[in-house]
Structure 1
Amino acid sequence: MRKISFLLILLAFACKESSKENTAGNLENNKSEYFSSVETNVILEDDSLSVRAIEVIGQNLAFAGNNGMYGLYNSTQKTWKTNIQKFDTIVPEYRAIASTSNDFFMLSVASPALLFKTGDSGKMELVYKEEDEKAFYDAMVFWNDKEGVAMGDPTDECISIIITRNGGKSWSKLECENLPQAAEGEAAFAASNSNIVVKGDKTWLLTGGMKSRILFSPDKGNSWSVFETPLIQGKSTTGGYSLDFYDEQTGIIIGGDYTNAEGNKGNKAVTKDGGKTWKLVAEGKAPGYKSSVRYVPNSEGNEILATGFTGIHYSKDGGNSWEKLSDEGFYTLRFVNDTLAYAAGKGRIAKLIFR
C-alpha cells in the first residue's frame, strides 16, 4: 500500500471550510423538491474490506476500517491514498474516526483500544491506549479544533467517555462518579460511527442493548444527564444504533435488532425538545433495522435518509413515513451537500447522487 502523504491530508483539511462554503454551487447539487431515486457509483471495491466509519472532508472522503486499513479519497482527481496502521503485531479494526481543521483521528474497537492522530512526522501517532479487557469504543467527534469526545461500552459502572481539550494530543477518561450509572447490559453499537451528535456546546450520546438511552451534556462533557427512549430493548442486539440532530431541538434515533432485520416496531423515534422526550414514528411500518440515519441538509428537518445492509430508505415528512430508494446496502452514510453523499459497507465505498 502507498503511504498517505501528511501534506495531502493537511491540504485536504485546510480546504475543508472553504469547500463547505462552496458546496451550494457544486454541479452535482441539483436537488429537486424530493428524492425519487439514487445513483450509486462505487469508488472503492475490496471484498476483504469492511468500513463503518467515514468522514467527509470538503469534497473529499476519509475512512478507516478493518485489517488496519485507512485512506483518503481525492474527489477531484478520483484517486485513493491508502495505508495500513498496525500496533506491534496487532492489526486493529477501526470503527470510529473524526477530524479537525488540522488533523485526522481513528479509534479501534476491542482491547487494547488504540486512538491514532496524524503526526508531524507524516505517520499516524498513538495518542491514547486503553488495555481494559472490556474496552470497546464506538464513536468519536470533535466540538471544535481543540475539544473532542469518544464513547464506548462500559468497563466499569458507566458508559466509557474519553475527552481531549488540547486538539487530540492527549485524552482523559471520565470517572464514573461524574456520569450516569449504566444499566445492566447497557452498551453501544459500533455500527456506523454515529452514536454521538454535537451542536454547539451540546452533546447527545446514544446507548443500546439491554437498555437504550440518551446521555446528554449541555457543556461539552463537563456535566451529564440521562433521557429514556421508547426503542425496543432488553436484548444485547436491540436498541438504538444511530443518532442524528438537524438542530438543537429536532433529532432522530434509529436501530432495532440486527438479528431481526425486518422487525419494524420500536426502532424509530424522533424528538422535538432536544432529546428530553422521544416519540415512536412509522410504528409497525418499514423500514426495519438500520445502522445509520442522517438528516438531508437544507431540508428543515423534514427529509431523512436511513441505511443498513437491507438498503436505503427515505422520509420526506420527518420520519412519519418512509419509502425505499435502493436495495443496495451500506453500513454508514455521510452527506457532502443536499444531493450528494458517500456511503460505506461490506467490501465497498460509494458516491451516492440523489435525484
Structure 2
Amino acid sequence: MQVSKSLGIIFLLLAMGCTPNTPIVKKAHLLSPTKSLLQAISIVDENTAWVSGHRATFLRTVNGGSDWSAFSYEPIDSLQFRDLHAFNSEEIILMSAGPGNLSRIFRFSLQAGFEETYVMPYEQGFLNTIEFWDDERGLAFGDSFNGELFVLKTADGGRSWTRIDPNQLPPAGEGEGGFAASGTCITSRPGGKAWIGTGAGGNTRVLFTSDYGDSWETYEVPLVKGSSAGITSIRMSDDQIGLIVGGDLAITDQYTDNIALTNNGGQTWQLTTSPVTKGAFYGSDLMSWENASILIASGPNGIDYSTDLGQTYINLDTGNYWAVDLHLSGFGLATGTDGKILKLTVQ
C-alpha cells in the first residue's frame, strides 16, 4: 500500500512539472476593520481582493491588504455572507447562508449598491457556496432535501437564478449537503467543467459536470464519512490535478483522512500523508508556482502548506482561519475568527 501511495504522489509531482525549486509561503498579520468572522475570499489581482463574513459584513482592499474598506447590508445585519465572487474591483456577488429565507444572493456594486436576486423559497433549503465560470455563468449549491440535490444556475451574472431539475442530478444521499465554511465546495474550470464536494449524513463524494450543469457524474473519495464529516473544500489547479480537504468537524484533536489529490479530473483520489494540524480543514487552495506546486489548507486549528503534494507539510499558523486563497501573482489571503486577516506571499 505504501509503495502504491508513493508512486501516486510521484506521478502527481511529474504531472505538475515539479522540480527541486521549493517555494516558500510567508505571512503577515493585517489590520482588520471588523471583529466579524470572515469566511470567504475572492482575489481579483495582486492588489484587489474582497472578503466576506458574518454580521452582513464584507471588505475590499485595492492595495494588497494595506488598507480595507468595510461594507454591510444594513436592512438585515444578521446575515452571514459565507461566500462571494468578485467580478472586478467594483462589482461582486454575495451569498448569505442559513435556513430558509436567510439563504440569499445579492449583486453589489459601488455605484448601484445592493440588488437582491435570490431568496430561498424552501424552509428546508440552505445555501453553501457559489462559483462562476465567467462574468455571466455560475452555480450555487445547497443542502439536499426531500431526497433531491439542490443546485442553482445563472446565465446573466447572478441577476436571476433557476434551480437545476433534480432529475438531471444524481439522487441525494440521506442528509447530503455541503459545508458553508469557506465558500470553496465548488470549483470550476473553463468550458463548463465544475466539481462539487459534498458531505454530511455519512456522504462524501464529488459531483462533476462538463457542460455547465446540464449533466452530472459522481466520483467516490477516500475522505472520512460521518454525520458532520466530508469535503469542505475542493480546488482544481487544471482540468486534471485537484485537491479536496475536509474531515470530521466534530473531531478537533485527532487526525482523520481529510486531504486527497486527483490526477485524472476527480475520477479517483489518493490520500496524502497526515498534515501537522489536527482536526478538520475548512478552506484550501492548490496552484502551480514556477514549476513547483503549493497545496495549502486552513481550519480552526491552523494553516498547513505543502510543496511536494502532501508528502510533507509545514505549519504556517496556529490561529483559527476558515478560508485561504492564493493568486498566481504570489499574493494570497487567509481569513477567520474575530476579523483576522493574514496576507500570504509566495516566494
Shorter-chain-normalised TM-score: which range? 0.7 to 0.9
d(CA) in 2 for partners of 1:136, 1:151: 9
Query: Are the counterparts in 2 of residues 44 and 350 from structure 1 also a CA contact under 8 Å?
Result: no
1:221 paired with 2:213, answer yes
User: 1:330: which partner in 2?
Assistant: 321
1:306-345 alignment runs, 5 A limit:
306-337=297-328, 339-345=330-336
1:42-121 matches, within 5 Å, as 42-47=30-35, 49-58=36-45, 59-75=47-63, 78-87=66-75, 91-101=78-88, 103-110=91-98, 111-112=100-101, 113-118=103-108
Distance 1:217 1:259, change over 3 A: same
Aligned positions of 1:1-355 closer than 5 A: 33-36=21-24, 38-47=26-35, 49-58=36-45, 59-75=47-63, 78-87=66-75, 91-101=78-88, 103-110=91-98, 111-112=100-101, 113-118=103-108, 122-200=112-190, 201-209=192-200, 210-235=202-227, 237-282=228-273, 284=274, 286-288=276-278, 289-298=280-289, 300=291, 302-337=293-328, 339-347=330-338, 348-355=340-347
Task: Specify whether residues 152 and 77 from structure 1 end up closer, same or farther in structure 2 by C-alpha distance, changes over 3 A only.
Answer: closer
Q: Compared with structure 1, are the counterparts of its residues 56 and 119 closer, same or farther at alpha carbon in structure 2 (3 Å cutoff)?
A: closer
- Where in structure 1 do 4 or more consecutive aligned residues deviate above 6 Å? none
Contact 1:204–1:216 under 8 Å retained in 2: yes
CA-atom RMSD, angstroms? 2.2
Give the Cα–Cα distance (whole angstroms) in 1 for the partners of residues 254 and 48 of structure 2: 35
Cα distance change on mapping 1:109 and 1:36 into 2, 3 Å: same
1:300 Cα shift? Answer: 5.0
- Pick closer, same or farther for the CA change 1:267–1:319 going to 2, 3 Å: same
Tell me, in whole angstroms, the C-alpha distance in 2 between the residues paired with 1:37 and 1:151. 31
TM-score by length of 1: 0.84
What is the CA distance between 1:45 and its match in structure 2?
Answer: 4.9
Q: Using the alignment, how far apart are the partners of 1:215 and 1:54 within structure 2?
A: 23
- Does the CA-based 8 Å contact 2:50-2:86 persist in structure 1? no
- AA matched with 2:334: A
Query: CA 1:35–1:202 in structure 2 vs 1: closer, same or farther (change >3 Å)?
Result: same
**Is there any run of 5+ residues in structure 2 with no aligned partner, and where?**
1-19
How far off its partner does 1:317 sit?
1.4
For residues 157-208 of structure 1, the C-alpha deviation after alignment (integer angstroms, 9 at most, x for no partner) is 2231111011221110112111111111211101111101111121000001
Gaps of 5+ in 1: 1-31
Distance of 1:295 and 1:41 partners within structure 2: 22
Note the C-alpha offset of 1:336.
2.9
Name the count of aligned residue pairs: 320
TM-score normalised to structure 2 length: 0.85
Say if 1:287 and 1:322, in contact at 8 Å, map to a contact too.
no
One-letter identity of the residue aligned with 2:56: G
Q: Distance in 1 between matches of 2:72 and 2:233?
A: 27
8 Å CA contact 1:43–1:350 kept in 2: the answer is: no
Q: State the Cα distance separating 1:319 from its structure 2 match.
A: 1.7
Distance in 2 (alpha carbons) for counterparts of 1:121 and 1:338: 28
Following superposition, the deviation at residue 301 of structure 1 comes to 6.6
Aligned-partner Cα distance in 2 for 1:245–1:171 = 25
